[in-house]
Structure 1
Amino acid sequence: MNKLLIASAILMVAPFAAQAGADFVEGDKIFGGDAELGATLTTGNTETTSIKGRLDMKHELGNWENQYLLEALYKEDTGEITGKRYYGLIQADYQFSAVNYMFFNANHEIDPFTGFDSKSTVSSGYGHKFIDDGRTLFNVEIGPGYQFKQLDDESALAAGYDTEDSWVAHGVANFETEITDSSKFKQMFVADYGDSLEGRSETSVTANIIGALAMKFAVIVRYNSAPLDDKKSTDTETNMTLLYAF
């Protein structure tokens, strides 16, 4: 755990420390992002609640491009919680050129339905933009990382240990393209390979409704090659949300 805390501190401090000696120019500051929200509520013979929220912010400052991401998912069926997931990510990219950059990434996930109380991963490495013409973006990232997991009490009792940690190879492939002037397609793959292979795929289509308001349809698939006993290796999530860009 100490290794993870030290690595997280280094990754979070690095972009700010590098900028500390530079002169700040207001014209170089660019900040924006988008917020998503989707909900389903039913009452009567069937009582269900489903809420999905996401806040994705990006900040450009000189050669740095930073991302701050928060996600939350909550599901309840007739008073019983059937889904709960919270995820946070910080990533800083240092641009060497228009197509080459170094990334620093730290993320934390809470999903008790996997048998783990939490999972944290830190990584850094090299990124390259193969296509970036204003309408289409295709970039790939690869580098080493470190992952730490905390098992819940039930899983720890069954397994005989309460934590897992390993060094991982971290990779990302991201593709985005504008279908029309008012719609966009995105496909992203994220993988961490260490003691097991863990992957995440997100496919989405976004269509503008009016102004900064859009509708987003997304399919998310999560995969773990070595899940805990009584857990499935693949989880899927399909949702439709309203998205507001700012």
Structure 2
Amino acid sequence: MKTMLIASAILMAAPFAAQAGADFVEGDKTFGGDAELGATITTGNTDTTSVKARLDMKQELGNWENQYLLEALYTEDTGEVTGKRYLGLVQADYKLDEISYLFINANHEVDPFTGFDSKSTISSGYGHKFVDTGKTLFSVEVGPGYQYKRLDDESALAAGYDTEDSWVAHGVANFETEITDSSKFKQMFVADFGESLEGRSETSITANIIGALAMKFAVIIRYNDKPLDDKKSTDTETNMTLLYAF
């Protein structure tokens, strides 16, 4: 099942990648994004390491708007790994007009501290921009999806099974606005509802420092209403990173 899921994601992404390559050669493209990095390292009586990295790229190809996202979080305390999360995401939006579009999304997340080795989700549906003034954006996406999870060895032994899969209802609400000419506020909610409700909220403020360099403060909350027996429903992540726009 996992092989079929990954293969489906590749098949869906392949036409977009091929088109992107063609437009890049022809020069008829709009491409940009931002890269961010934050790290905390302490030594002495306490040895801790925390690293957060993220690369978010967007591309416009005619009626297509594509997003490519890579995200990583790693924390270590006195030689023991206390947090590890990796996320890869590809989304393609096809514009129906200036305010509505169809989307296809495929993402894969590795977070062993939830009791799952990995989680893969594919979804598609309809998106609508209720507000888009250039300085303020509010959009909503809804549609069906399919989710596949693989439990780690310890959780699989306790549960008596090693994989979970289900159809889900996928929804995204995104709001962003310029506070000043040099600062921006963003709020995003992502939810997948199937056999359980899983949600993600990200609140961030970005303030420009100089040129393309900015400082970003973010609070990320992840929620699962049916976690594994020895896990908590809510995870919270707070970080400060440097962001470079290109």
Under a length normalisation based on structure 1, what TM-score does the superposition of the two structures give?
Answer: 0.95
- 1:194 is displaced (CA, Å) by 0.3
Q: Distance in 1 between matches of 2:16 and 2:80?
A: 43
Equivalent position amino acid for 2:118 in 1: S
Aligned to 2:10: 9
Helix, strand or coil at the partner of 1:11: helix
Most deviating of 106-115 and 26-35: 26-35
Aligned residues of 2:23 and 2:61 also touching (Cα < 8 A): no
Aligned residues of 1:150 and 1:164 also touching (Cα < 8 A): yes
Aligned residues of 2:156 and 2:162 also touching (Cα < 8 A): yes
- 1:23 is displaced (CA, Å) by 8.3
Helix, strand or coil at the partner of 1:4: helix
Helix, strand or coil at the partner of 2:31: strand
Aligned to 1:74: 74
Q: Distance in 2 between matches of 1:231 and 1:191?
A: 19
Aligned residues of 2:136 and 2:176 also touching (Cα < 8 A): yes
Pairing of 1:209-228 with structure 2 (within 5 A): 209-228=209-228
- Unaligned runs of 5+ residues in structure 2 are none
Equivalent position amino acid for 2:187 in 1: Q
Please provide the CA RMSD for this pair.
1.7
Pairing of 1:182-197 with structure 2 (within 5 A): 182-197=182-197
Aligned to 1:89: 89
Aligned to 1:167: 167
Pairing of 1:7-156 with structure 2 (within 5 A): 7-15=8-16, 19=19, 26=26, 28-156=28-156
Aligned residues of 1:37 and 1:51 also touching (Cα < 8 A): yes
- 1:77 is displaced (CA, Å) by 0.4
Q: Distance in 1 between matches of 2:149 and 2:47?
A: 34
The size of the alignment, in residue pairs, is 244
Question: In structure 2, do the counterparts of structure 1 residues 201 and 112 end up closer, same or farther at CA, with 3 Å as the change threshold?
Answer: same
Q: Percent identity?
A: 81
- Unaligned runs of 5+ residues in structure 1 are none
Question: In structure 2, do the counterparts of structure 1 residues 29 and 23 end up closer, same or farther at CA, with 3 Å as the change threshold?
Answer: closer
Q: Distance in 1 between matches of 2:17 and 2:211?
A: 34
Under a length normalisation based on structure 2, what TM-score does the superposition of the two structures give?
Answer: 0.95
Question: In structure 2, do the counterparts of structure 1 residues 25 and 74 end up closer, same or farther at CA, with 3 Å as the change threshold?
Answer: closer
